[in-house]
Amino acid sequence: MDLVIRATVIFFFIFMVTRIAGRRELTTLDPFDLILLVVLGDLVQQGITQSDESVTGTLIVISTITLLTVGVSWSSFRFRGLRLITEGEPIVLVKDGKLVERNLKRERLTRGDVEEGARLQQVASLEDIRWALLEKDGSITVIKKS
């Protein structure tokens, strides 16, 4: 039972940390960030199992994390209010060619980040954009003016 409690606590802690870290950081990993995530994964495993090397302990931890993941996913599907917390919603970065500064600051994005997203979608200037949205997965979607 101890493994289930530790796995549950760490699951929700990791969930909270990834929501606080923001979308942009999690979608643009450089090699150091990738290595850090692997190390973090090992530390989490040790924290959950207290270096329990048994097959039973591993199965309990994997089962707990899987059940929690499915439970959060099902709850998000079932309840819209929870979905906003677990998944978020698209955020407007540009409206009618003008940057929405408040949203850029909230997501820790720069004008250059938005311009890069626009260029990747063949849009040369912010003035040519009707809407630019930061999607739930961290990508930037641009809708051109007609």
Model confidence at 109, in pLDDT bands (50, 70, 90)?
very high
Q: How far apart are CA 51 and CA 61, in angstroms?
A: 12
What integer is the mean pLDDT of 113-132?
Answer: 94
Together in a domain, 50 and 28: yes
Which residue, of 86, 105, 125, is where some domain finishes?
A: 86
Cβ-based burial of 132 (10 A; exposed 0-12, middle 13-18, buried ≥19): buried
Q: Specify the pLDDT at position 43.
A: 66
Nearest to 130 by CA among 117, 145, 115: 145
For residues 114 and 129, membership in a common domain is answered with yes
Same domain, yes or no, for 44 and 102? no
Residues 17, 74 within the same domain: yes
What is the CATH number for 97? 3.30.240.20
Contact 129, 142 (CB under 8 A): yes
Residue 116, pLDDT above cutoff 80:
yes
Tokens of 108: 């820790």
Q: Where does the pLDDT of residue 123 fall: very low under 50, low under 70, confident under 90, or very high at 90 and above?
A: very high
What pLDDT is stored for residue 48 in this prediction? Answer: 74
The pLDDT, as a whole number, for residue 36 is 61
Both 32 and 80 in one domain: the answer is yes
Residues 78 and 18 in one domain: yes
Read off the pLDDT of each residue in 24-50 and give the average, rounded to a whole number.
Answer: 66
Name the β-bridge partners of 91: 134
Q: Which domain holds residue 50?
A: 2-86
pLDDT for position 137: 77
Q: Which of 86, 103, 126 is the last residue of a domain?
A: 86
Considering 3-17, 45-59, 131-145, the range whose residues carry the highest mean pLDDT is 131-145
Each residue of 62-95: pLDDT tens digit? 778 778 878 888 898 899 888 888 778 899 999 9
